[in-house]
Structure 1
C-alpha cells in the first residue's frame, strides 16, 4: 500500500492517472470526516474538474425531475436512445427497469448509489470519486459493489476512487491500488 501525504497528493495522483482502474484511498474515520470538505473543494477547483464525478453521501437527484431525466441531465443522449441505453446499463448494474419509475427517495441506499454511478457514467465522467459512507450498505451489498465497480472500470473506461475508512474494502482483491493518507490535510 502506497502512503501519500495529504488530499492534494491524492488529487495529483487522480489527475495523473488515466488508467481504468479501481483505487481505494484508506483514511481513518476522524480524518475522513474532518478533511472531506477540503478534499471536495480542492478536487472541484482543479482544471480537469469537468472530467471528475463525485458521489457524496448527501447527494440526491433533482426532486422535480424523474429518475430517468436525472440520469440523463448531463448527457448528450437523445430521447429516442434512452430506453436502449437504460436496458443495457440496468443489466450491468443489476437494476430492474421498475427502479427508473420509482421516486429516488423510496429506493434503497444501494439502488441510489448505483443510480448515481450510472448518472456519472452516462455524463461521460472519466474519473469517479466515491466519498460517501458505505456503512448503510449490507455486507452482501458491499460484496456486490466491488465487482460492479471493477466491471465499470472496464465497460465504461473510468478510473474509480473509493475514499474509505474500511480496511477490508481497501484490501479487497478487486482494488487495483490502495494509497493511504499519512497525515492531516491543512
Structure 2
C-alpha cells in the first residue's frame, strides 16, 4: 500500500507532526485517511515509545459490558477517592454534564462519544491525540464547538493533536496551527 505520509517519513517529520501545544491537520483524500491512520499508529509506537498516544475514532470504542463511567477509567491510574472530582472537572472542561453517565452507549450522540473519548484520553494522560476523520458525523454547530475545545486542550493541557480529514473547511479553520496537504 502507498501511504502518502510514508513518502518522506523521518524523525524530523514526526517531530513536525507532533509538536506539543499544537493542532496539526493532515488534509487528504478519503482513500488515504484510513491508511495514514494505521501508518501513524505504527510509526508513533516505533519512533516515540516514551510518549503516550491516544486516538479518537468516529465509531463507538466503549466496551459494551462496562458502564460509561467505568469505560472512561479503563487504563487510568486514578484512585477511587479521586475519580468523582476529576470526572466532574473534566466534564466541565469539555462541556458535558454527569447526567450523561446515566445513558447507555446506544443513546450517545456522535458528539457525546467524541467528548467522552477526549475525557478518557485526558484521564489516562495521553501526550499525543490523533483524531480520525470524525467531522462528517458532526453538525456545523458541533464542529464550531469542538475545534476551539481541541485547541484549548492542545494549549492548556500541552497535548499534540493531529487531525486527519478530507474537509478543507476544517483544515483551514483558524484553530489549526499547521496544515499538511497530502492529496
In structure 2, what is the equivalent of residue 98 of structure 1?
A: 99
58-67 or 73-82, larger mean C-alpha shift? 58-67
Q: Check the 8 A contact 2:94/2:115 in 1, yes or no.
A: yes
Change (3 A) 1:157 1:35: closer
Q: Check the 8 A contact 1:25/1:170 in 2, yes or no.
A: yes
In structure 2, what is the equivalent of residue 173 of structure 1?
A: 174
Q: CA deviation at 1:15?
A: 4.3
Is the aligned partner of 1:78 residue 2:94? Answer: no
In structure 2, what is the equivalent of residue 65 of structure 1?
A: 66
Change (3 A) 1:60 1:36: same
Q: CA deviation at 1:91?
A: 1.0
In structure 1, what is the equivalent of residue 13 of structure 2?
A: 13
CA separation in 1, counterparts of 2:12 and 2:62? 29
TM-align CA RMSD: 2.3
Is the aligned partner of 1:110 residue 2:114? Answer: no
CA separation in 2, counterparts of 1:59 and 1:11? 32
Change (3 A) 1:148 1:80: same
Q: CA deviation at 1:102?
A: 1.5
Change (3 A) 1:9 1:105: farther
Q: CA deviation at 1:168?
A: 0.6
CA separation in 2, counterparts of 1:36 and 1:10? 17
Could you give the per-residue CA deviations for residues 9-57 of structure 1, whole angstroms, max 9, x where no partner exists?
Answer: 3885344544211111111123224544444344444442751111223
Q: CA deviation at 1:144?
A: 0.6
CA separation in 2, counterparts of 1:10 and 1:21? 19
CA separation in 2, counterparts of 1:96 and 1:30? 36
Q: Check the 8 A contact 1:74/1:123 in 2, yes or no.
A: yes
Unaligned runs of 5+ in 2: none
In structure 1, what is the equivalent of residue 127 of structure 2?
A: 126
Q: Check the 8 A contact 2:56/2:131 in 1, yes or no.
A: yes
Q: Check the 8 A contact 1:21/1:159 in 2, yes or no.
A: yes
Change (3 A) 1:71 1:12: farther
CA separation in 1, counterparts of 2:115 and 2:88? 14
TM-score by length of 2: 0.86
Q: CA deviation at 1:70?
A: 1.1
Q: CA deviation at 1:105?
A: 2.4
